[in-house]
């Protein structure tokens, strides 16, 4: 089954304790992206990656790191989490930029990771 | 800064009515346009995509694109209570293929 898998789905942690949210896709997609979603603010992009070893900042990258060493994985790292990073996080993937009959450009989302930083 | 703007709502319509959701975007080089539906606490799911000017219909949903006005809309005919959700407009393409999302419009369909 084609899917984007995020772990953990739920996490409560404390300020300053490093954590990693993993994201893996089994569709051989070139593009992957991380978003956070907060009430009234919509989906805000944190980082995205167009391919292996290629990453770029989104709208709200501060306090986050990413890496793309393999095509299927795109982990999100919070080196020193703070309470303002409490949010619902989504990872997503899609085929590369070129659109054709087989590539609609659809973005496939993981189920989300709800993070609480105390 | 590329932007996608949506009216945050909430938009309330009676069951059976037509719901009209609107979206404007700033990047004239945009090539692909998407509407996602998101139920509370769930991940967004794609309901429509459109690339060419004009209308595209799929069941009760119609997407409309006007590139000259940088405007894309979603019409939902015969609205049902199950359509109550937040609708996200996403715009992409150009040279990078990154998708930019609007903040979403919350739709409430009253029985």
Chain centre to alpha carbon of residue A37: 11
From the list A42, A96, A110, which residue is nearest B97 (CB)?
Answer: A96
pLDDT value, residue B93: 66
B8, B104 in Cβ contact below 8 A? Answer: yes
Query: Is pLDDT above 90 for B98?
Result: no
B88, B36 in Cβ contact below 8 A? Answer: yes
Give the residue-averaged pLDDT of B59-85.
96
Interface contact flag, B98 A33, Cβ < 8 Å: yes
The per-residue pLDDT of chain B, averaged, comes to 91
Among chain A residues, CA nearest to B3? A59
From the list A41, A50, A109, which residue is nearest B44 (CB)?
Answer: A109
Q: Between residues B7 and B89, which one has the greater pLDDT?
A: B89
pLDDT value, residue B44: 95
pLDDT in tens, A24-80: 999 999 999 999 999 888 899 999 998 999 999 998 999 999 999 999 999 999 999
Chain A residues closer than 8 Å to B99 by CB:
33, 94, 105, 107
| B12: three-class secondary structure by DSSP | strand
pLDDT value, residue A106: 83
Among chain B residues, CA nearest to A104? B49
pLDDT value, residue B95: 45
Chain centre to alpha carbon of residue A72: 12
Closest CA to A78 of A4, A16, A7, A5: A16
Q: How far is A76 from chain B, CA to nearest CA, in Å?
A: 18
pLDDT value, residue B37: 97
Chain B residues closer than 8 Å to A88 by CB:
41
Chain B residues closer than 8 Å to A33 by CB:
98-99
């Amino acid at each position: 089954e084609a899917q984007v898998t995020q772990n953990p789905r739920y996490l409560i942690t404390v300020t300053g304790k490093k954590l990693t949210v993993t994201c893996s896709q089994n569709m051989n997609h070139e593009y992957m992206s991380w978003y956070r979603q907060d009430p009234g603010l919509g989906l805000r992009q944190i980082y995205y990656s167009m391919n292996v070893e290629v990453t770029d900042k989104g709208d709200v990258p501060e306090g986050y790191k990413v890496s793309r060493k393999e095509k299927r994985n795109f982990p999100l790292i919070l080196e020193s989490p703070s309470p303002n990073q409490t949010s619902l996080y989504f990872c997503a993937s899609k085929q590369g930029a070129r659109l054709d009959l087989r590539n609609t450009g659809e973005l496939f989302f993981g189920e989300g990771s709800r993070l609480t930083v105390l | 800064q590329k932007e996608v703007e949506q009216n945050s709502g909430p938009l309330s319509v009676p069951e059976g009515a037509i719901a009209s959701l609107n979206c404007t975007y700033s990047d004239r080089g945009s090539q692909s346009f998407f509407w996602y539906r998101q139920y509370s606490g769930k991940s967004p799911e794609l309901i429509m995509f459109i690339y060419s000017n004009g209308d595209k219909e799929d069941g009760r949903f119609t997407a409309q694109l006007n590139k000259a006005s940088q405007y894309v809309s979603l019409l939902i005919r015969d609205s049902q209570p199950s359509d109550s959700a937040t609708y996200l407009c996403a715009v992409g393409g150009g040279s990078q293929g990154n998708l930019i999302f609007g903040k979403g419009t919350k739709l409430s369909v009253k029985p």
